[in-house]
Amino acid sequence: MSLVFGYSAGASPGSRAGMRAYDDGRVELLEPGADWREIATLSADEVDQLAERTRAAGILDLPEEVPRPAQMDGGGECELRSELDGRSVRSVIHGWNEMNPPARPSLELVLAMSGLVSAAQTRG
């Protein structure tokens, strides 16, 4: 079992929130001040969609650190992880915000993940 894609955003350990999905379809949620907990199961097709979107977003090729734009103050941090295709990627994007162009592919990926997870949650 390996991680297809996961992220956690927030400035401190106590404020981080995120989601992660494994290749067996299991989805876990991180809420501020709590531990990861399972909330849904993706179908095999949904797992494939997430994997494809993760590759397309360039997550596997991200550097360890992506700096925030020089003119941005704040914006938070986001840690991205993936173990797709035998890789083990961990990248931190500083200024995880639409105003940071290098962050946009991962922002779109998280929105896509949200749609897949929401579908899984609402079908019961």
Partner 1 sequence: MHHETTPERAPDPEHERPPEPAPPEHGAGPAAAVLGLQQSHGNAWVARAMQRALMRQPDAEQAARQAFVARGPMPAAAGVDFQSATGRGGFNVRYDPATSEEVITLKVGIDFRDGLSVDPATGVVTPNDPGFAAAAASVTARNPGGTPEAIAARVTEVQTDWAWAAQQRTDWQNDYEALIEGAWGGQHHFTADRWDDVYADVRIDVNVHAGLLAGDHCKATVFKDPPGNRQGPGAAVTSTPGNSTAATGSFRSSDITGTGDYLNYSLQFDNNSADLRTATSTSLEAPGDAGPAHLDKLIVDFQRGTPTGGAPIRITGHASTTGDGDQNLRLSRRRAEAVANYLRTHGDKIAGSRITVEAVGTDGAAADERWRRVDIQIGDGRPQVTMAHETGHMFGLRDEYASPAGGISPGAGTGGGIGTPVGHGALAAAMGGGVQTAVFENNDSIMSVGNVVRPQHYATFLEALNSVTTPERFHYGGAGHSPTAIPDLIGPDVVRPPDATPTGVA
Contact criterion met (CB below 8 Å) for 11 and 76: yes
* Residues binding partner 1: number (CB under 8 A): 48
Determine the interface stretch with partner 1 among 46-54, 55-63, 81-89, 102-110 (rule: CB under 8 A): 102-110
List CB contacts of 101: < 8 A, sequence separation 6 or more: 69
Does 56 participate in binding partner 1 (rule CB under 8 A)? no
- Name the one range near partner 1 by CB under 8 A: 47-55, 83-91, 116-124: 116-124
Q: What is the CA radius of gyration of the chain?
A: 14
* Cβ neighbours for 1, distance < 8 A, ≥ 6 positions apart: 22, 23, 24, 26
Give the integer Cα–Cα distance in Å for 104 and 63: 15
Nearest residue (CB) to partner 1, 31 versus 45:
31
Binding site for partner 1 (CB under 8 A): 9-15, 17-19, 29-33, 39-40, 65, 68-69, 71-77, 92, 94-99, 107-108, 110-111, 113-115, 117-119, 121-124
